[in-house]
Amino acid sequence: MKKKTIYSIIFVLIAILVLSACNIAKPSPEVDPASQTQVAIFAMATLTKYAQQQPTLEPTEEEPMPTFTLLPTEEAPTEEATEPPVEATEAPTEPPTAEPTATPVAQPTVIPQPTTPANLPQPPADAERISFAAGTTNKTVSGSVEAQQSKKYVVWLDKWQLIDIATSADNAAYIAVKTPSGQVLVNFSNRWLWYRDFAQEAGDYVIEVSGGNFKSNYELTVSIPQAISFERGTSSLTARATVPGEYGHDFSFWANQGQKMTISLSQPDKFVLAIKLADGTVVLSADSKANSFDGVLPKAGTYIVTIHNIGKEPVTVDFNLSIK
């Protein structure tokens, strides 16, 4: 009996040793240290490259002079549109300086293009000239165009004047725009319903309207705001305008981000204000029915303020502007 017990113990010990040997022989997963190092190096290189690229992603400073062209979509302008106004001086609005209180020098009774200058050339036989009534900065003309046809207009612009062109129609009313030298700014293939930009040259700009594959009854609105600029050392101005009944008068000027702008009118109950940037950013919608403004400006750029006469009779109004 004693022998059997000893044999049993020996057998158990042998079994334990055999099982241990099997576990030792079983391969366990190992991580290649070289592979780990390569992964770490790749990750570090990727992060370094990303970090090096970051400065190029930072927004650059906005150019003070107007040199951009807005690219509208097929839809009619809603916000800005957006993206109309005119210039009262021979040079564009003065770019912002380090002095945030520089104020516009207004030419109160000077309207950019009140009537067609006598010395302008006659438009081509197939084109109609657009000119503004005295005291206005915009004109709307109505027309009808057959499918696959177009209607042509010309409008005079001085260099650096800001122009806003927009159409509305029962069907599409696409536009094409050319400079006086013949440079194509917009093609019908772009399918644009509006366009806003600063004139890079003086002369007659050609605007064409087409309904594409459809006959179209349309309205074409051309706006050229009255540009006002700031005198150094001042922070306010008053510009006077006589606005026809149910018409709007546009002012344009440069201001910096973070400046406080205040606008008031001498006859506020007869007008509604709308404010936007030349890039189409809406600051104050006409839908708000506001007739004054007091707020901080969201961006640096050219601002367009429209004062709309809500009555049927002409009104002479003082436009009071302060930017600090």
What pLDDT does 189 receive?
A: 93
The CATH architecture to which 127-224 belongs is Sandwich (2.60)
pLDDT by residue (tens digit) across 264-323?
999 999 999 999 999 999 999 999 999 999 999 999 999 999 999 999 999 999 999 999
Number of neighbours of residue 318 by Cβ within 10 angstroms: 13
Q: 140 or 118: which carries more pLDDT confidence?
A: 140
For every residue of 274-313, DSSP letters joined together read EEEETTS-EEE-GGG--S-EEEE-SSSEEEEEEEEE-SSS
Taking a C-beta distance cutoff of 8 angstroms, is the pair 285, 242 a contact?
Answer: no
pTM: 0.64
Provide the 3-class DSSP secondary structure of residue 169: strand
Is 227-323 in the same CATH topology as 127-224? yes
Cβ-proximal residues to 127 (8 Å cutoff; 6+ apart), any chain: 152, 153, 154, 206
Answer yes or no: CATH 2.60.120.380 is held by domain 227-323: yes
Residues 148-199: pLDDT tens digits?
Answer: 999 999 999 999 999 999 999 998 899 999 999 999 999 999 999 999 999 9
What are the structural domain ranges in the chain? 127-224, 227-323
3-state helix, strand, coil in the chain (%, to 5): 20, 35, 45
